[in-house]
Amino acid sequence: MLSMSNINKIYQTDLVQTHALREFNLNVKEGEFLSVTGPSGSGKTTFLNIAGLLESISSGDYCLDGESVVGLNDKDLSHLRNEKIGFIFQGFNLIPDLNLFENVDVPLRYRGFNSHQRKEKIENALEMVGLASRMKHLPSQLSGGQQQRVAIARALAGEPKFLLADEPTGNLDSLMAKQVLELLENINRQGTTIVMVTHDPELARRAQRNIQIVDGLLSDFTMYQGGKMVTEQSVSA
């Protein structure tokens, strides 16, 4: 589903080379729920941006859904990203002047769906997150948890192969965070692959597998079953 082999990402300035990822190897299976943890500045965001085709790699190979993306031009990357990936952000990234229906509609317009197709997809997505009755509300009329559910609906409407979630509960209180995570778990049970970056160890344990990134290296991974650790293996370089 998602395969990274010997990935290196180097940011170069006139005087400094910063190695954001080093010899990074990871396979994510179809239908898996993976959490990604690690200290600030460890490379988590770089990993997520590369996985989402928002950044290129310095060396290595990245295959998405069986296709190598190395060397693809911007147009092909954009097409692949729009077709296969849904993004969920910590800050929701909703457009304040648009109602919920219109916010979910925005990315669908770039996919070329006609108005009837978009309407059906939007209504289905808002129904899935429990907000179908509020589709004419503005984001400001919702709680933080509800806004995040709209952001999830927006990501789901295009029926992506997998979701990339960057601290999806970071701006929520514990109750709302629990509700959002339960929604993500339900989406995962229906077959969507999810990769979630989080600082919260409790949330990380709810995923099927957790990896830790430290100084750009894949430090270790932990398997969970029913929230309990079942095996742990170091894969340090």
pLDDT tens-digit readout, 55-75: 999 999 999 999 999 999 999
Q: Is the pLDDT of residue 234 over 70?
A: no
Cα–Cα distance measured from residue 8 to residue 19, given in angstroms and rounded to the nearest whole number: 7
Residues 196/48, Cβ–Cβ less than 8 Å: no
Residue 47 has a CB neighbour count (10 Å cut-off) of 27
If we measure between CA atoms, which residue out of 153, 156, 131 comes closest to residue 142?
A: 131
- The two structure tokens encoding residue 90: 């910590």
The residue count of the chain comes to 237
For 166-209, the pLDDT digits (tens) are 999 888 888 888 888 999 999 999 999 999 999 888 889 899 99
More confident residue, 133 or 234: 133
Concatenated DSSP letters for 32-93?
A: -EEEEE--TTSSHHHHHHHHTTSS--SEEEEEETTEE-TT--HHHHHHHHHHHEEEEETT--
Q: If you average pLDDT over residues 217-226, what whole number do you get?
A: 74
- The crossing angle, in degrees rounded to 10, of helices 100-109 and 144-157 is 30
Determine the 3-state secondary structure of 99 from DSSP. Answer: coil
Our CA dihedral for 151, 171, 90, 2, rounded to 10 degrees, sits at: -100
Instruction: Note whether 145 and 180 are within 8 A (CB).
Output: yes
Task: Sketch out the chain's domains with CATH numbers.
Answer: 2-234 (3.40.50.300)
Q: What is the dihedral of CA 24, 189, 160, 182, to 10 degrees?
A: -90
- Cα separations in angstroms, 221 against 19, 158, 175, 215: 21, 30, 27, 15
pLDDT of residue 176: 86
pTM: 0.88
